[in-house]
Structures are given as C-alpha cells and as structure tokens.
C-alpha cells in the first residue's frame, strides 16, 4: 500500500476533532486549550482524537489520504471454478447459464 504524498495534519477546526479533556474552546476563531492555558496544538496534543477514528498515530488526518493500489490479478488470470449444486437449485434456474 502506497499513501499519497499530499497529507494534512488533523486540526482543531475540523468537525470531527475532539479534545479528550473537553478543554477545547474557540477564542477569536482560534482554538484555545483551557487545560494547557494556551492555543491548541492540534494533532500533536496528547489529548487530541478524531470522532470518526481517522486520526493516524503521527497526527495525519485519514480523510485526506488516498490509497494507491495496483491490481495484482488480471481478469483473464482468474480461472472458472465449478461449484456443485443440488437438484433443487438447478430446478430454480431451469437450465440457464450461471455465469
């Protein structure tokens, strides 16, 4: 799995950002921590969390990360598998192709 290069840290203005100490307030459009009596550090704070559970261990927001994966199997590589069926199932399909 390769993560995209454009990542963002979690920030206190996000709707899903939560302070576990419940000390986050906003003063003049800036996040303020009543616990530390200073401006909120965001993702570097020990009490920061994400309501949706998307904040990674390094403080990166999981909503901004796009996964880049490659298909390892091609459609032509997949073999047909025969599955044994009972007569009851075969009667319901009445001889139609089950592909």
Per-residue pLDDT tens over the stretch 21-48: 999 999 888 899 999 888 888 888 888 8
**Residue 4 clears pLDDT 60, i.e. is over it:** no
Q: Where are the alpha helices (DSSP H) in the chain?
A: 87-93
Q: How far apart are CA 93 and CA 19, in angstroms?
A: 57
Per-residue pLDDT tens over the stretch 47-91: 888 888 888 888 888 887 777 777 666 666 566 777 787 888 878
Phi first, then psi: give them for residue 88, nearest 5 degrees: -65, -40
Beta-carbon count within 10 A of 75 CB = 6
First-last CA distance in the chain: 32
pLDDT value of residue 32:
92
Model confidence band, residue 11 (pLDDT cutoffs 50, 70, 90): confident
- Spans of all domains in the chain: 2-69
């Amino acid at each position: 799995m390769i993560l995209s290069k454009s990542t963002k840290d979690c920030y206190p203005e996000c709707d899903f950002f939560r302070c576990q100490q419940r000390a986050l307030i906003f003063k003049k459009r800036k996040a303020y921590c009543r616990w530390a009596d200073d401006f909120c550090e965001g993702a570097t704070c020990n009490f920061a969390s994400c309501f949706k559970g998307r904040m990674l261990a390094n403080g990166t927001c999981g909503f901004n990360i796009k996964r880049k994966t490659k298909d390892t199997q091609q459609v032509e590589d997949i073999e047909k598998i025969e599955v044994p069926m009972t007569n009851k199932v075969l009667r319901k399909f009445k001889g139609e192709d089950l592909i």
